[in-house]
Structure 1
Amino acid sequence: MISVLVVEDDEVAGEAHETCANSVAGFRVVGRVRTGQEALRFLTHTAVDLVLLDLRLPDMDGLRVSRMLRTRGSGTDVMAVTSTRDLERVRESVSSGVVQYLLKPFTFAAMRDKLRNYARFRDEFSRGGAVNGQHEIDRVFATLRDHERQELPKGMDEQTLTSVASALRESGNGASAGTVGKLAGVSRVTARRYLEYLVERDMARRSPRHGGVGRPELIYRADLDDADGAVP
């Protein structure tokens, strides 16, 4: 079981992150704190495998927490969970020992994939011993990448997927493929194909809406954890 500490000053977001992590097989949240100092005190007396770390904490820069862990010689890994999009900060996070970077807001599926990749990464190192060559080193580090998200089915593209996903979030309580298509600027058939892909990836749900004449209409809803359309 991979133990997790959630470091997030926003109470609602912290609860959501804890719920997400606990919902992924093989992970268990052992603590949740709201400041950098609380995190450092917690980690002094409790061994933790992974820290889900907000970079904007009320008492200190989140990256300072990561650097202090490295200075202490801690073997705890850090995943940045933040709304910070500045590339310089991303570079700083890498040099501070951050192994994963997850942007807010995100879907449960996004955090699930990051955690699963991290679990595979840990598993590779747990085997011990030496590698036979560069290809094995590359394979180990490749486990942290979201290969499945990078390779869309033939005929689909990231720009349209982003437009459809955004339109679905804007629809609030759900919408038909036709409505989503109008919001995204694509045809109903195209919208439905991308919506079905989101359903397959656990990023959306569909349900029939009865009441009219003929077959019930399919309604799609973003599979999210708060009213804003994503995990905070």
Structure 2
Amino acid sequence: MIRVLVVDDEPLIAEAHRQYLERLPGFVVHACVGTGSAAVRAVAAAAADGAPVDLVLLDIGLPDASGIDVASALNGIRPSPDIIAISSERDLEVVRSAVAHGVALYLLKPFTFAAFREKLERYQQYREALGAGGAAAGQHEIDRAMNALRTAEQRASTPKGVSADTIDLVLGAIRATPAGLNASEAAGAVGISRVTAWRYLERLADDGVVSRITEYGKAGRPQVRYRRA
């Protein structure tokens, strides 16, 4: 279970985040606090008790301190938690500063549960890709983990002739089918040609977003099925 600390000075918003987390498998709320100083104390105490906080949902606009400064302080605790910033602040300088101080993801208020779930699921995939940590991770594991933190549009770059909307449609069809899809099935699900579906599936596979599974039948050429990585 991923232990999460919710940091927001608005009790109703903090409660909403807690309820959202309770709807997601694999997450448990450690506590909800309303100030930056309380957040630092809670993370330090949890680390000292041997049950460290894994993730902090950090409001950038706190009453007693800048969320950026709080993120910097949290990074000084060992083990340090990962941080998802939650803010209505749209200034790109603030976003850059947050990233520079250890923020892994940035969630802009207001948001829906679907947007919240998407960010948390990406973070979950990131942790799964890195496993238990240590020095054994190779380049493949590192690339897969970093890919998990990026959106479909970022993972599958969109040069001329490649549509980000079509990438998302194909990826959505893959996500809806745990067993995966071949090019023909993906084409039918999305409403595009088989060749176009194959081209997008191959791009997603090259970018590490989906994996290729080769199936050998009794006759004919082997079929390639694509599953969520």
Q: Which one of the candidate residues 165, 181, 206 is aligned to 1:152? A: 165
The equivalent residue for 1:10 is 10
> Greater RCO between the two (CA within 8 Å, min separation 6)?
1
Residue type of the alignment partner of 1:11: P
Once the 2 structures are TM-superposed, how far is the Cα of residue 71 of structure 1 from its aligned partner? 2.3
The equivalent residue for 1:197 is none
TM-score by length of 1: 0.61
Structure 2 contact 129–141 (Cα < 8 Å) conserved: no
Once the 2 structures are TM-superposed, how far is the Cα of residue 74 of structure 1 from its aligned partner? 3.5
Structure 2: distance between partners of 1:25 and 1:13:
20
Q: Unmatched 5+ residue regions in structure 1? A: 157-232
Listed as ranges, the matches of 1:2-151 within 5 Å are 2-46=2-46, 47-128=52-133, 129-131=136-138, 133=139, 136-147=141-152, 151=164
Please give the root-mean-square deviation of Cα atoms over the aligned residues, in Å. 2.3
Residue type of the alignment partner of 2:129: E
Q: Percent identity?
A: 44
Decide whether aligned partners of structure 1 residues 116 and 148 sit closer, same or farther in structure 2, where only a CA change above 3 A counts: farther
Structure 2: distance between partners of 1:130 and 1:74:
18
Structure 1: distance between partners of 2:45 and 2:70:
16
Runs of 4 or more off by more than 4 Å in structure 1?
Answer: 148-151
| Residues matched between the structures, number | 154
Structure 2: distance between partners of 1:127 and 1:15:
30
